[in-house]
Structure 1
Amino acid sequence: NGMSPKEATYRAMNEVSGPVVAIAFVLSAVFIPVAFTGGTVGELYKQFAITISVSMMLSAIVALSLTPALCSLILVKKEEAPKGFIGKAVKAFDEWFARTLAKYVKNVEGCIRKSKLILTCLVVVVICIGFLAKVTPTGFVPNEDQGMTAVSIALPEGASSNRTQKIMAGLSQNMRKLPGVKNVMEVSGIDILSMGQKANAGLAVVSMEDYSKRSNSVQDIIPMIFGMGAQIPDATVMAFQPPSLPGASSTGTLSLYLMNLGGEDVNTMGERANEFLAACRKRPEIGMLYTTLNTNTPMYQFEVDREKAQSLNVPVSTVYSALQAFLGGNEINDINNFGRTWKVVMQADEKYRTGVEDMRYFFVRSNDGKSIPLNTLVKPSPKNSSVVMTRFNGASAIKISGDPASGYSSGQAMAAIEEVAKQVLPNTYTYEWTGQSLDEIEAGSRSTQIFIISLIFVFLCLAALYESWTIPLAVLLSVPSAVFGCFLVQYARGLQNDVYMQIGLITLIGLAAKNAILIVEYAKMNMEQGMDVVHAAVEAAHVRLRPILMTSFAFILGCLPLAIATGPGAGARVSMGNAVVGGMTIATLFGIFLIPVLFVVVERFFSRKKKGTAEDNVTEQL
């Protein structure tokens, strides 16, 4: 407009310093309540809160200090128009944008005239948000390809270690032939489901090639491993994907305990567990479900004939001590030798404790000094029971773990399990979620609270910054359009409402408020210069359209690679990128028409209220 670079810089500083401070303040303040959230979810929120808040404050300082100085140095008073193809393209774009801007202004004027219809549409959008939030599958964090998978191999109870190793070797050889598999490591004698040592169990760790060298993922390999396990009738084979967050369950995303509050025995608990699993496996939402309680392990129960021991003058405690020492082992002391500490354990030799008939070799001394064979005092009775007994919250418990079916989220599978628990379990049983499932429940309950607290915090910050209640209200009423876009795009792509999407929702509060601030603040300035509310809003929309579109689409295009990411770590990137891209796109396309209407409606409402209050005061004075 004929100004010098310094004059243009000073004028720009006067016009945009307010919006710059307000936008930076809002984008930083929206994450302040999130930074004080505890637990696993709080750690995730905290990382984004600190990163975004600090970066936005630094960006605002640079925008208000370094950027004006660079503008005054780099800009020239008169710049020649580009020539050739670029010049024609720039001219064509300017003409198109001028026509679009004129149509936009007319549409804004029409929306203001039909403000009741626009507000009705806003109410419909809020209702649609509730519907989409209900139908969108819920989850904690998306699965990630970490280049490996753990495989559990379990043979029937009582199977020997040699038999287990033979089956593991054959299965490992077949798994090495799968596409993308680099190596397989075998560990026999450990049950990763119950974390106990068993001769009939084993673990295989399947390592994948580097992602750039394979075309498939770990999610593709796991069904193949299940198919191989189905061809081995003597073993139960289950493959698990490592958790996306370190420390979560490594044997499934679903984890809960069924607590026995009625004091039922182990065998009855096993029947309850099998009945519960059978009912759960009928639900389509549940893909794999298992329990660590196995009551089919063959064992012997030793019963002491107390009357005979008393008649032979043998203390019962001596009988139990002898059983412990001969069969289980009894640590006596420690000795130091060769620079190491060795434990001295008294126990019967291995060849004398291979079967219950070997009890005839064990003797116990009576109070009379006579040696009495143990087999005359102890009678073994065969039975089936569980090697590992779990307790949770002070009660005998059944651990249940698994994964949702393909195409279903963990939230849908958890809801199905809860329905089955209400139908199948007796009143003496209750359940409680643990591990990643518990984190998911806490994340779902906290997300709504955090979102509301962030909205209130932004509202109070804007009210203090502008010393007005109308500007924050007009700004935040545009947020539902961003939330609607987020849920709509997330549901359309079949993604889940997880922690990363919820972090994206918090970010959308600040981004949607940014567009509203650019229009509302300029409209407020126009009103202070004497314009009526409608012309002030229309003029603000006319002037601020270009910066709104430039900043919004720059952000959308910057986040687009996240929304379409592939490879390792793509789950978190896609979830968050899709949420912010979808929400910001809808917020920009609808917000440029909605924000002027909201400003006019809010200003008219509060002006009428102030006018009515002033008339009441005059009446009281008269």
Structure 2
Amino acid sequence: MSWQIYSNQAGRHASDYRGTIIAWRDGAAVRLSDIADVHDGPEDIRTIGLFNGERAVPILISRQPGANIVQVVDALKAQLPALRRAMPPDIHLDVASDRTLTIRASLREVEVTLLIATLLVVLVVSLFLRSWRATLIPAAAVIASLLGTLAAMYLVGFSLDNLSLMALTVATGFVVDDAIVVVENISRHLEAGMRPLQAALAGAREVGFTVLSISLSLVAVFVPLIFMGGIVGRLFREFALTMSIAVMISLIVSLTLTPMLAARVLRTHEREGGVMRAAGAAFDWAQARYARALDWALDNRTAVLVLLAGTVALNIFLIDIAPKGFFPQQDTGGLMGGLRADQSISFTDMQAKLIRITRIVKSDPAVATVVSFAGGSRAGGGFLFATLKNRSERPPAAEVIARLRPKLARVSGVSLFLTPVQDLQIGGRQSNSMYQYVLKADDPDTLKVAGEKLVDALRKHADVLTDVDIDQQDAGADAFVQVERDTAARLGVTMQAVDATLYDAFGQRQVANIYSGLNQYHVVMEAARRFDGSPEALGDVYVPAGTSTAAPPAAGPAAAASASGGGAGGSAIASGSAVSTAAKTMVPLGAFARWSTGSTNAAVNHSDGEPSATIAFNLPPGGSLGAAAALITRTQADLGLPAAVHGAFGGTAKVFKQSIASMPFLILAALLAIYIVLGILYESAIHPLTALSTLPSAGVGAMIALIATGGEFDIIALIGIVLLIGIVKKNAIMIIDFALEAERGGGMAPLAAVREACLLRFRPILMTTMAAALGALPLAIGFGDGAELRRPLGIAIFGGLVASQVLTLLTTPIVYLALDRFRSRKADERHLARHDPPPATGVPA
């Protein structure tokens, strides 16, 4: 037997217990060292932990829900010096992985992005208003709105994370819209010769309703997101609420702080520099070109309406052909790997292969540290976590994985499936790869055949799927011991003795606890290593049969109590048949039992009460989850699997399918919310349709931008399109408000009124669009850690705003006139119906 001493604290060694008396035989003491090999070691010897290929004990630390992860890590690092001093000099304590490094870097990049977006927005205002004084007002409005938003976030308990900071960055271009509309209208009155105070009062009064309409309709867009169900809804609720808070605070600021600053800061006449004169000339040129294009559109209304209908059709086509995804794959500086070993592999072989795999990964020049673990509850498997160097010192994580794959494939018997660590992980189903497909069947045999056929077919499509793996464990090696019960009974061997002896030899039984002053030791018993390498070791097993009545001498117990080796004050409390004072007759196992080897199910997984197998897969660089999902569904149908076999996506892939199905409803809900809000504000069912007519052009621009940049139509891009719905309708709102005012207050015809409104509001429309687009531009370019998550949002907003700016300035007045004609015709019909004489009844009057 081999006796292994395990301690939960540093202290005495195994040598201290080798002289311990464990039994008496014929009046002589039998010491532990006479019959066993005693050594120090882990309590479970069939586990291994590695750090950079060397033996280690990995310690995984997770924060409590709601705790600040940065503060937790800082507090832990502050304790490291004291912990190192308390440990023996031959034990080294190192930080293997620190996820907050990428979190801190990502937050810094978002802060830089926020600063750049603010500067670009302020620059737009300066160039269009041709006044450095006017620059101060939107800048103050942005700062006040963002500070107010941060204060509100603090009060409601929101944290600064990737999503909330992304919302603040996008909000930079939104919160300035209201201030731009107010400042531009005040500047127009100043240019007409008004004094600053009168211009501020008149300008704010004129656009007050417009600003209110823009803000409330933008908040209405976020209502479906706020009340969206499921995991995705909970994830983006904080984003939507942050945006809503920012917009409402900007509304208050634009109607209070902005006019006050304009009255104090702006001047009727201000000297212009060369840059300002050039900007003014450029705007005059652009406005003249727009006037000519507008006159052409008014003269060719049918062609413009056909163009708008084509834009709607193009939207549907682009959404259909665009690659679909869930979340953009991020490069957070970490790789997570799951290990899949041959089901019959021994722990000795698994240990050697894990060391080899760990050293292969560590040898890559992009890898900083590697932590790996195998054994324990992960029999036949394990995990690996690699921390990459700074982005400036390495290629993207996908390239690192691609160049590691052929090297790792040379290690036979074990497969490592590497995936980049993601900030946003949804699904909850564990597997060796990022996405899962779950097969179910009525019985395990049918499931085994179907799973193998489907996996073999999917592995042929390496351009769509990579790292295809299935978790069926039906080939585990076993040794089946068959006891001849009659023979065992004649020999006095009980089944309980057989079971106990086998577990003593091969089960790492804990047989005693040893207590000293501060430390506690577990005594673990098992057969010596040379006997547990193959089933032939069963031939060396002896089982106790019957007992004798030989008793130890009277001095025995006292001697055992006082003979603790080393005199360190330890005491042993033994239990089980391994420690006994009674002599037993030992019978070889082969005298009454036979054994054979074979294969068996190491584990049978179940899902919803049915036998199941999970097929896990990753995506190649540039791969689409939508294409992978379609391939799996099509392949299963083409294979003609039995009707008893059925499958469904699980984990992240399942949430992806659910989100794809809910995307049309989310967009329709946003449109309906805007229509209701604008209908209430305008007290009309017609004018909101004019505002909504601006959306198809924005959708086309967003989809073209995403496809052109190699992006996907994923959740983040969908959020960008929902934001576009709230942004682009402001162009129509400004045109509608001034056209209605010109009709009602100035007595102008609808055609003249809408033309005047388009030319008069051309400057604020151009300013607000450019401010929002440039606010999203840093997100679209994307740089630094975590930029992949933010990039689709910026691309969708920037592309949609550029396209909508070109098209809506021409389509909005045409739609306004068409709907106005429809409204007038319906009004005339109602008027005639009320004043026409009743129909004749055939009876003379």
User: Which TM-score applies when normalising by structure 2?
Assistant: 0.66
Corresponding residue for 1:578?
Answer: 795
Q: Secondary structure at the match of 1:397?
A: strand
Tell whether 2:472 aligns with 1:293: yes
State the distance in 2 between where 1:304 and 1:536 align: 101
State the distance in 2 between where 1:316 and 1:275 align: 46
Deviation at 1:320, TM superposition (A): 8.7
Deviation at 1:118, TM superposition (A): 1.7
Match for 2:391 among 211, 221, 228? 211
Gaps of 5+ in 1: none
Code of the residue aligned with 2:435 in structure 1: it is L
Match for 2:614 among 383, 399, 404? 399
Match for 1:541 among 744, 750, 758? 758
Corresponding residue for 1:196?
Answer: 378
Tell whether 2:466 aligns with 1:251: no
Deviation at 1:579, TM superposition (A): 0.7
Code of the residue aligned with 1:82 in structure 2: it is E
Q: Secondary structure at the match of 2:400?
A: helix
State the distance in 1 between where 2:833 and 2:492 align: 102
Tell whether 2:818 aligns with 1:601: yes
Code of the residue aligned with 1:450 in structure 2: it is L
State the distance in 2 between where 1:364 and 1:477 align: 92
Gaps of 5+ in 2: 1-191, 547-584, 840-845
Question: Superposed, which structure 2 residues align to 1:7-22 within 5 Å?
Answer: 7-22=198-213
Tell whether 2:272 aligns with 1:82: yes
Distance 1:500 1:316, change over 3 A: farther
Q: Secondary structure at the match of 2:806?
A: helix
Corresponding residue for 2:331?
Answer: 145
Deviations 1:187-216 (A, max 9, x none): 2336xxxx7223xx443322211224x141
Mean CA deviation greater in 461-470 or 94-103: 94-103
State the distance in 1 between where 2:363 and 2:491 align: 66
State the distance in 1 between where 2:736 and 2:543 align: 92
Corresponding residue for 2:416?
Answer: 237
Distance 1:501 1:254, change over 3 A: same
Distance 1:129 1:334, change over 3 A: farther
Match for 2:735 among 510, 513, 519? 519
Corresponding residue for 1:380?
Answer: 595
CA contact 1:126–1:480 (8 Å) conserved in 2: yes
Match for 1:451 among 647, 667, 686? 667
CA contact 1:329–1:345 (8 Å) conserved in 2: no
Q: Secondary structure at the match of 1:30?
A: helix
Corresponding residue for 2:154?
Answer: none
Deviation at 1:585, TM superposition (A): 0.9
State the distance in 2 between where 1:419 and 1:73 align: 68
CA contact 1:164–1:202 (8 Å) conserved in 2: no
Corresponding residue for 1:5?
Answer: 196
Mean CA deviation greater in 425-434 or 592-601: 425-434
Distance 1:138 1:15, change over 3 A: same
State the distance in 2 between where 1:432 and 1:223 align: 29
Deviation at 1:332, TM superposition (A): 10
Code of the residue aligned with 2:635 in structure 1: it is V
Corresponding residue for 2:254?
Answer: 63
Mean CA deviation greater in 316-325 or 147-156: 316-325
CA contact 2:506–2:532 (8 Å) conserved in 1: no
Deviations 1:71-94 (A, max 9, x none): 111122333x325xx1xx444443
Deviations 1:461-499 (A, max 9, x none): 111112111211110121111111111111111101111
Q: Secondary structure at the match of 2:222?
A: coil
Deviations 1:331-352 (A, max 9, x none): 9999895689999999888887
Tell whether 2:650 aligns with 1:434: yes
CA contact 1:527–1:533 (8 Å) conserved in 2: yes
Corresponding residue for 2:706?
Answer: 490
Code of the residue aligned with 2:434 in structure 1: it is T
Distance 1:379 1:272, change over 3 A: farther
State the distance in 2 between where 1:75 and 1:100 align: 25
Corresponding residue for 2:363?
Answer: 177
Q: Secondary structure at the match of 1:257?
A: strand
State the distance in 1 between where 2:684 and 2:202 align: 25
State the distance in 2 between where 1:574 and 1:610 align: 48
Q: Secondary structure at the match of 1:468?
A: coil
State the distance in 2 between where 1:258 and 1:389 align: 13
Distance 1:317 1:175, change over 3 A: closer
CA contact 1:363–1:374 (8 Å) conserved in 2: no
Distance 1:611 1:551, change over 3 A: same
Q: Secondary structure at the match of 1:513?
A: helix
Corresponding residue for 1:474?
Answer: 690
Tell whether 2:347 aligns with 1:161: yes
Q: Secondary structure at the match of 1:27?
A: helix
Tell whether 2:798 aligns with 1:619: no
Identity %: 25
State the distance in 2 between where 1:341 and 1:445 align: 57
Instruction: Tell me which structure has the larger Cα radius of gyration.
Output: 2
State the distance in 1 between where 2:752 and 2:205 align: 22
Deviations 1:412-467 (A, max 9, x none): 11110111122233211111211111111121122211111111011101111121
Code of the residue aligned with 1:289 in structure 2: it is V
Mean CA deviation greater in 91-100 or 383-392: 91-100
Mean CA deviation greater in 356-365 or 223-232: 356-365
Code of the residue aligned with 2:474 in structure 1: it is T
Deviation at 1:539, TM superposition (A): 0.8
Deviations 1:4-32 (A, max 9, x none): 11111111012111111111111112102
Q: How many residues align?
A: 604
Mean CA deviation greater in 354-363 or 449-458: 354-363
State the distance in 2 between where 1:211 and 1:90 align: 41
Code of the residue aligned with 2:331 in structure 1: it is D
Code of the residue aligned with 1:402 in structure 2: it is F
Corresponding residue for 1:48?
Answer: 239
Distance 1:400 1:351, change over 3 A: same
Code of the residue aligned with 1:148 in structure 2: it is G
Deviations 1:125-148 (A, max 9, x none): 111111111111111111111212
CA contact 1:326–1:362 (8 Å) conserved in 2: no
State the distance in 1 between where 2:630 and 2:343 align: 33
Code of the residue aligned with 1:449 in structure 2: it is F
Mean CA deviation greater in 521-530 or 170-179: 170-179
State the distance in 1 between where 2:481 and 2:735 align: 84
Q: Secondary structure at the match of 1:158?
A: coil
Distance 1:536 1:247, change over 3 A: closer
Deviation at 1:396, TM superposition (A): 1.1
Match for 1:564 among 781, 790, 793? 781
Corresponding residue for 1:33?
Answer: 224
Tell whether 2:290 aligns with 1:104: yes
Code of the residue aligned with 2:214 in structure 1: it is I
Q: Secondary structure at the match of 1:427?
A: coil
Code of the residue aligned with 1:67 in structure 2: it is T
State the distance in 2 between where 1:312 and 1:264 align: 40
Deviation at 1:42, TM superposition (A): 0.7
Mean CA deviation greater in 379-388 or 522-531: 379-388
State the distance in 2 between where 1:361 and 1:269 align: 41
Code of the residue aligned with 2:438 in structure 1: it is Y
Corresponding residue for 1:279?
Answer: 457
Deviations 1:321-372 (A, max 9, x none): 668855776999998956899999998888877636348623678xxxx999
Deviation at 1:399, TM superposition (A): 1.3
Match for 1:130 among 316, 333, 354? 316
Code of the residue aligned with 1:442 in structure 2: it is Q
CA contact 1:319–1:374 (8 Å) conserved in 2: no
State the distance in 1 between where 2:690 and 2:499 align: 80
Q: Secondary structure at the match of 1:146?
A: coil
Distance 1:506 1:313, change over 3 A: farther
Q: Secondary structure at the match of 2:336?
A: strand
State the distance in 1 between where 2:378 and 2:326 align: 28
State the distance in 1 between where 2:421 and 2:810 align: 47
Corresponding residue for 2:151?
Answer: none
State the distance in 2 between where 1:222 and 1:260 align: 34
